[in-house]
Amino acid sequence: MRKFNKIPIGFILTLFLSFSNISLAFANPYYFVDEDMHTFEQSPDANEQLKNEFHVLLNDLFDQRNKSILSGDSEGLKVFYDLNKKVSLWAYESENKKIDYLKNWSEKQAVTFNNIQSLLKVRKVKEKEPGIYGIVCSATTEFDYSYITSPDIHNKFRLGTSHYINLKKENDKYVITKEWYTDPFADSLNLDNIKKSKEMKEYILSKDCPEINLTEKLEKAIDYAHKYCGIAYDDEYNFKYNKEYTNFNPKGGDCANFASQILYEGGGFKKNKLWNYEGRDGSKAWVNAQSFKNYMINSGRASYISKGTYEEIYKDSYNLRPGDFVAYEKNGKIIHVSTVTGLDSKGYPLVTCHNTDRLLVPYDLGFSNSNIRFHLIKVHY
């Protein structure tokens, strides 16, 4: 991915993060939320000149923020915020916690992040009033990491986020006065949640990636997942879902719908009365995370490997293979499912999913809350 020029020091960025209010609205990259929280579709007649102008600006912004996160330089982040404003200070503190979270997770995992880069797509620019612009953009951010015992072996994963930004022009510069976006780490910023131990680190470092021979069905399932995850490496499919299926993100989430698509379109599983999709809608077992997990287990199409807290299951997770899935339980309810589509250089399971979009991401990254329980599920292809 290409590098971008540095953002001018004169830019002051004021970000307002409101995860609980916008998680559904922004999970769908084709929509944005305006001041009154009404939803607007992307206009095909959007001003291309404006979009190109702000694309350059936002490229620089994301590049500098990624460098600050990578270096752990919380002081460097301050240039993006007006710390005299309370909402901007809160936003800075949240970004600072994200830096600490990634540092803690990498220490637990015994890895070092080598690079973080973002690819942007500006979807809409609207002049809300003279000199003030509302911008909707999607970002594909790639993380490169290596285990501390094998620094020359690089592992990569991608995260997708959708952003709504207000830019105000002041003299010869723009000031960001608002930014809302989906944050894959928003529920894991309590640093006490990540348990680290010498035993855990030694166990992770002792593993090697096993040799895997994929069947034709598994290859098709994984190819489908990587193609339609919304942040594909193939530029033709980046920022896109499969249009043959409804995107349920604005209605509560698209993770189970996507997991079902992977099994049906790629894995060759047959539909039935309980697990079905037709007429732009799916059955409860097709689109609901809890019902999907229950159906797969009760139907015999899948079985348990293990379940429990991270400390209880992290060793068992090395039995996961591409095509299996992980279900995430919070407060007694399955809130999310992700399909395993790869293993990293130490055999650590990597998942691909919707909301937020993930491609080959370590399965526990972003799910470090103490009340999260992992259900490791073997799928019988």
pLDDT at 27 over 80: no
Q: What would the pLDDT profile of 103-129 be if each residue is shown by its tens digit? A: 999 999 999 999 999 999 999 999 988
Coil, strand or helix: which one is 76? helix
Give the least confident one: 50-54, 149-153, 251-255, 265-269: 50-54
Closest alpha carbon to 163 in 50, 59, 76: 59
What pLDDT does residue 287 have? 98
**How far, CA to CA in Å, does 30 sit from each of 132, 203, 225?**
22, 42, 20
Closest alpha carbon to 376 in 363, 365, 366, 358: 363
> 96 or 90, which is more confident?
96
Q: What is the mean pLDDT of residues 281-292?
A: 98
Q: How many CA atoms lie within 13 A of 365 on its CB side?
A: 28
Q: What would the pLDDT profile of 128-143 be if each residue is shown by its tens digit? A: 889 888 999 999 999 9
pLDDT at 37 over 70: no
Could you tell me where the DSSP H helices lie in the chain?
19-22, 48-71, 74-77, 86-109, 198-206, 216-227, 255-261, 284-287, 289-298, 310-313
**How far, CA to CA in Å, does 297 sit from each of 290, 325, 377?**
11, 12, 8
Give 22's pLDDT tier (boundaries 50, 70, 90): very low
Residue with token string 């339980």: 329
Give the least confident one: 31-40, 161-170, 243-252, 280-289: 31-40
> 189 or 138, which is more confident?
138
Q: What would the pLDDT profile of 207-248 be if each residue is shown by its tens digit? A: 999 999 999 999 999 999 999 999 999 989 999 999 999 999
CA distance 138 to 120: 6
Closest alpha carbon to 337 in 298, 285, 282: 285
CA distance 371 to 309: 8
CA distance 179 to 12: 13
CA dihedral 283, 289, 290, 293 (to 10 degrees): 90
pLDDT at 3 over 60: no
Q: What is the mean pLDDT of residues 61-84?
A: 83
Q: What residues does 134 pair with on adjacent strands?
A: 126, 166
**How far, CA to CA in Å, does 292 sit from each of 12, 29, 283, 314, 356?**
45, 24, 10, 23, 18
Give 191's pLDDT tier (boundaries 50, 70, 90): low
Q: What is the mean pLDDT of residues 342-364?
A: 97
> 366 or 91, which is more confident?
366
pLDDT at 289 over 60: yes
Region for 139 from its dihedrals, namely left if φ exceeds 0, alpha if ψ lies in -120 to 50, beta otherwise: beta
The segment with the largest mean pLDDT, out of 69-78, 181-190, 278-287, is 278-287
Q: What is the mean pLDDT of residues 327-332?
A: 96
pLDDT at 55 over 90: yes
Give 15's pLDDT tier (boundaries 50, 70, 90): very low
Q: What is the mean pLDDT of residues 83-96?
A: 76
pLDDT at 31 over 80: no
Kindly report the average pLDDT of the chain as a whole number.
Answer: 85
pLDDT at 5 over 50: no
- Label residues 307-327 b or e (16+ Cβ within 10 Å = b): beebeebbeebbebbbbbbbb
Assign 3-class secondary structure to 218-269.
HHHHHHHHHHCCCECCCCCCECCCCCCCCCCHHHCCCHHHHHHHHHHHHCCC
pLDDT at 100 over 60: yes
Residue 79 tokens read as: 């240039």
Q: What residues does 348 pair with on adjacent strands?
A: none
Bridge pairing between strands 372-379 and 349-353: unpaired
Q: Which domains does the chain have, with CATH numbers?
A: 19-202 (3.10.450), 207-379 (3.90.1720)
Q: What is the mean pLDDT of residues 267-276?
A: 98
CA distance 228 to 261: 10
Q: What is the mean pLDDT of residues 291-311?
A: 98
Q: What is the mean pLDDT of residues 241-267?
A: 96
Give 65's pLDDT tier (boundaries 50, 70, 90): confident
What pLDDT does residue 276 have? 98
* Percent with pLDDT over 70 in the chain: 86
CA distance 254 to 159: 15
What pLDDT does residue 73 have? 86
Coil, strand or helix: which one is 147? strand
